[in-house]
């Protein structure tokens, strides 16, 4: 794995930073990669569009910021509008299709949607949205190992919430796996509304 740049984005309070932390931790502590996470601070981290950056690499990360993320995880429309344009041409866009409406094509990037908000509500706690997204991320990118992600989640969440969070992770992971099993590999076509993978609202709306 060469250098992979990832941006996780959404609203303040959605657990955006924690998602980046868990992905980085999974790679750097429970796997054998180098990971560098940086985050936006100040008012930006407290309201509206909030994001963090994770760089995964086989070698030590030197340049600390991302420039053209290969993976963009989006959990709010505002974050989508703000960050989608920077996505690398061959990148992967992962969205919560309940919250994000795709309104453009992003080079040859592929988009995968998951109704994560609905899943979170089904699990009884909207707060696990970010963990569902991590499960989805793990399935769709394969960049962190399942076990590493699971371990990183367990080590990063409040005690007593393990079961809920593991369920959330599993929900995201399995949805992603199903999507892939249905033949939706990382192709341009994945973002087309006609594909079976595009179950979410957002994907339906994409051009």
Query: Which stretches of the chain bind other proteins, using CB under 8 A?
Result: 21, 24-25, 28-29, 34-42, 44, 61-65, 152
Minimum Å gap between C-beta 69 and other proteins is 16
User: Least distance from C-beta 60 to other proteins, angstroms?
Assistant: 8
Closer residue to other proteins in complex, CB, 58/122: 58
Residue 54 to residue 64: CA distance in whole angstroms: 9
Distances (CA, A) of 3 to 14, 66, 91, 144: 27, 10, 13, 13
Residue 21 or 80: the one with the smaller Cβ distance to other proteins is 21
Q: Taking CA 20 as the corner, what is the angle to CA 17 and CA 21, rounded to the nearest 5 degrees?
A: 85
If the CB atoms of residues 152 and 197 are measured against other proteins, the closer one turns out to be 152
Please say whether the beta carbons of 109 and 44 come within 8 A.
no
Closest to 20 (Cα-Cα) out of 110, 112, 144, 125: 144
Give least dist CB 64 to other proteins, A.
6
Question: Which helix (H) or strand (E) element contains residue 79?
Answer: helix 77-83
Of the pair 18, 114, the CB lying nearest other proteins is at 18
Smallest distance from other proteins to CB 26, Å: 9
């Amino acid at each position: 794995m060469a250098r992979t740049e990832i941006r996780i984005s959404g609203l303040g309070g959605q657990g955006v930073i924690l998602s980046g932390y868990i992905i980085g931790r999974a790679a750097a502590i429970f796997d054998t990669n180098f990971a560098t996470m940086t985050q936006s601070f100040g008012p930006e981290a407290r309201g509206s569009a909030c994001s963090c950056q994770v760089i995964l690499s086989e070698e030590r990360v030197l340049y600390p910021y991302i420039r053209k993320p290969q993976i963009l995880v989006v959990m709010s429309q505002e974050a989508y509008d703000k960050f989608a344009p920077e996505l690398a041409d061959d990148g992967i866009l992962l969205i919560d299709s309940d919250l994000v409406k795709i309104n453009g094509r992003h080079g040859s990037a592929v988009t995968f949607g998951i109704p994560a908000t609905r899943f979170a509500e089904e699990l009884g706690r909207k707060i696990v949205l970010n963990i569902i997204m991590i499960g989805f991320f793990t399935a769709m990118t394969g960049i962190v190992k399942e076990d590493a992600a699971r371990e990183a989640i367990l080590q990063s969440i409040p005690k007593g919430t393990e079961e809920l969070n593991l369920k959330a992770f599993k929900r995201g992971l399995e949805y992603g796996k199903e999507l892939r099993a249905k033949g939706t590999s990382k192709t341009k076509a994945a973002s087309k509304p006609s594909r079976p993978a595009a179950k979410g609202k957002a994907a339906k709306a994409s051009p």
